[in-house]
Amino acid sequence: MRHQLAHMVTPHSHEAMDKVDSVMETSREGMRTLWLSLGVLGITTVIQAAIVALSGSVALLGDTIHNAADALTAVPLGIAFVLGRRDANRRYTYGYGRAEDLAGIAIVLTIAASSALAAYEAVDRLLNPRDVTHLWAVAIAAVVGFIGNELVARYRITTGRRIGSAALVADGLHARTDGFTSLAVLLGAGGVAIGWRWADPVVGLLITAAILLALKDAAREVYRRLMDSVDPALVDRAEAALREVDGVQHIGQVRMRWIGHALRAETDIVVDPKLTVAQGHAIAAEAEHALIHAVPRLTAATVHTDPHADAPGGTDPHAILSHHAAR
């Protein structure tokens, strides 16, 4: 409600400078989220690491390893956000927003490495049993891990969805899974307390399995972004907005892709072939304006007009127009 009211009372335009300022502001918000996440998870990891050294719990060790890896994922994301602020040039004509996709790959690799290390330690403890001490401290560390990860998850997911960053959302989902795996450490401590020495390494293996599930979700998000996947609902909204534009007789293919946390779109529309170039241009401009207002995070649209529905791309160079608008 606050954001909607602010949009109503705040003047706005489609000038290029306005659009650049908006993207830079969201990048700053992303950076604040990353540094806060790094601080919270860093404190959580230090507390858990101290209790691992005191107790010898391999389940808690697995949770600590993964929390540390999760904190370190702020590094590639931070680099990506900084790169994303750079202006487009003749080599990178769309800018550096796709650096976030590279950060997503780095996050997936980090999760995979942490799961491998946690699995190794758990299997080693099964083959070479060892007593776990200070079970009360292990239980406290498990609760601390859950609280820390849940706070980070909520902040990352909320910010990532607001600014359109798939990498940040994927990292938030990862942190949320970490929080529930932290609670699993309580099961291991309870099992050891009643004499089941194998409970601690078995819980360590369960934590590894949970990490692998998080890996699958994060990999799917990053894969979809690399393959230029968008939510079909966004395409539906774009088509609905184009149908409301006066002068648009038919709608061709609508294409969208993410570049960082901003969307770009391309579409074909069919107009009356008797229109002048100026009239066709005006319809294309209105279509672009409608798209940017209808689709969240859309910052640029290229609208191509055809004079005939059965002639993709058009045949008359005087009637075919290409209107490009970028924020």
Quick one: average pLDDT of 287-308?
A: 90
**Burial code of 67-102, b = ≥16 C-beta within 10 A, e = fewer?**
bbbbbbbbebbbebbebbbeeeeeeeeebbbbbbbb
In the chain, domain spans: 14-226, 232-326
Quick one: average pLDDT of 284-301?
A: 91
pLDDT at 310: 56
Q: Which of 171-175, 223-227, 310-314 has the highest mean pLDDT?
A: 223-227
Pick the CATH number of 232-326 from 3.40.190.10, 3.30.70.1350, 1.10.3720.10, 3.40.50.150: 3.30.70.1350
CB contact set of 275 (below 8 Å; sequence gap of 6+): 247, 283, 307, 319
pLDDT higher than threshold 80 for residue 138: yes
Mean per-residue pLDDT of the chain: 78
Q: Name the CATH topology of 14-226.
A: Alpha-lytic protease prodomain-like (1.20.1510)
The pLDDT tens digits for 109-118 are 888 888 888 7
Quick one: average pLDDT of 290-297?
A: 91
Quick one: average pLDDT of 105-127?
A: 82
CB contact set of 230 (below 8 Å; sequence gap of 6+): 256, 257, 258, 263
pLDDT at 309: 57
Q: Where are the alpha helices (DSSP H) in the chain?
A: 2-9, 16-55, 58-72, 74-84, 99-127, 135-163, 166-193, 199-226, 232-243, 277-294
Stretch among 20-34, 156-170, 209-223, 288-302 having the lowest mean pLDDT = 20-34
Assign 2 a pLDDT band (cuts: 50, 70, 90).
very low
Distances (CA, A) of 273 to 247, 278, 313: 11, 12, 13
Q: Distance between CA atoms of 130 and 202, rounded to whole angstroms?
A: 13
Indicate the SS3 state at residue 251: strand
Quick one: average pLDDT of 247-269?
A: 90
pLDDT at 315: 40
Quick one: average pLDDT of 84-109?
A: 86
The pLDDT tens digits for 218-257 are 788 888 888 888 989 999 999 999 999 999 999 988 999 9
Neighbours of 170 (CB within 10 A): 28
CB contact set of 127 (below 8 Å; sequence gap of 6+): none
Q: DSSP letters of 303-318?
A: EEEES-TTSTT-S-TT
pLDDT higher than threshold 70 for residue 212: yes
The larger pLDDT score, comparing residue 29 to residue 226, is at 226
Matching CATH topology for 14-226 and 232-326? no
pLDDT higher than threshold 60 for residue 178: yes
Assign 17 a pLDDT band (cuts: 50, 70, 90).
very low
pLDDT higher than threshold 60 for residue 173: yes
* Residue 313 amino acid letter: G
Residue 313 and residue 320 in contact, taking contact as beta carbons nearer than 8 Å: yes
Residue 323 DSSP class: E
The larger pLDDT score, comparing residue 209 to residue 171, is at 209
Assign 311 a pLDDT band (cuts: 50, 70, 90).
very low
pLDDT at 124: 78
CB contact set of 193 (below 8 Å; sequence gap of 6+): 135
Percentage of the chain modeled with pLDDT above 90 = 17
pLDDT higher than threshold 70 for residue 325: no
* Residue 179 amino acid letter: G
The edge-to-edge listing of strands for the beta sheet with 321-326 is: 250-259, 262-270, 298-306, 321-326
Residue 298 DSSP class: E
Helices 135-163 and 166-193, axial angle in degrees (round to 10):
170
pLDDT higher than threshold 60 for residue 318: no
